Amino acid sequence: MRPSIVLFGDSITEEAFGEGGWGAYLANHYSRSADVLLRGYSGYNTRWAARVAHRAVASIAGAVSAVTVFFGANDAALPDRGSALQHVPVAEYKDNLRAICALLKKRWPSVAVILITPPPVDEDGRLRYPYAHDSSGLPERTNAAAGAYARACVDVAKQSGLRAIDIWSRMQKFPEWEKTFLRDGLHLTPRGNRVLFEEVVFALKDADLSLEALPADLPLFGDIDPDNPGKSFEEGEAS
């Protein structure tokens, strides 16, 4: 059966199928080999995601080969600023990630779960695009806080034997990453989406889900016998 790759996360995942989005890149990359399914929930933290994870994936049928779990940007909102309602303490964040991953593994025992850390935060960008018109003059998120959650995410992956994409560290290796990869200090620009897409493709390749490792869905045009196309299709069904 044609395998599926599920993207489970917050607004950065919900936006993934937008123009220049990392999910759109991924769907195009695997267009003939796998279905990319979106389960993105803007504003969600891991506390809420852990409660609804079973509902989020309940309607997904068939073989799921991989799931990306991309939460933490909202958990890392500061508890005394404008986005306090989204804040989740680091220790609970780690427990919630473990619970989400355990649920996914229970539903699909052979699935490759890939954790993605929250991205870095451009605090100047958050001041220019404040949450809910917050007039405090303080960013509701900081890069230092996002880094703490990124490290916690990587720790959970290591302890659980899962793959992790440390996008927080990866993006900051580039000059002028603040404006190059983030459009409002938090959400990704097309270039930021491209960097994340490339990291996800690399992680999927490490999980033996590279484009080369997956068979094409139905015979390729060049493999169809024009004099006996039915035979080509029957061979595909038999395999």
Enumerate domains of the chain plus CATH numbers: 4-208 (3.40.50.1110)
Grade residue 221 by pLDDT with cuts at 50, 70 and 90. confident
Question: Is position 184 annotated as part of the catalytic site?
Answer: yes
Q: Does 80 participate in catalysis according to the annotation?
A: no
The answer to whether residue 75 is catalytic is: no
User: What's the mean pLDDT in 128-139?
Assistant: 79
The DSSP secondary structure of 126-181, one letter per residue, reads HHHS-GGG--SSS-SS-HHHHHHHHHHHHHHHHHHT-EEE-HHHHHTTSTTHHHHH
pTM of the model: 0.93
42-101 pLDDT, tens digit per residue, is 999 999 999 999 999 999 988 899 999 999 999 999 998 889 999 999 999 999 999 999
Q: Catalytic one among 11, 160, 169, 232?
A: 11
Given the residues 184, 206, 223, 225, the one annotated as active site: 184
Choice among 66-80, 175-189, 206-220 with the minimum mean pLDDT: 206-220
Query: For residue 49, what are its two tokens?
Result: 């995601």
Query: Could you read off the pLDDT of 4-13 as tens digits, one per residue?
Result: 999 999 999 9
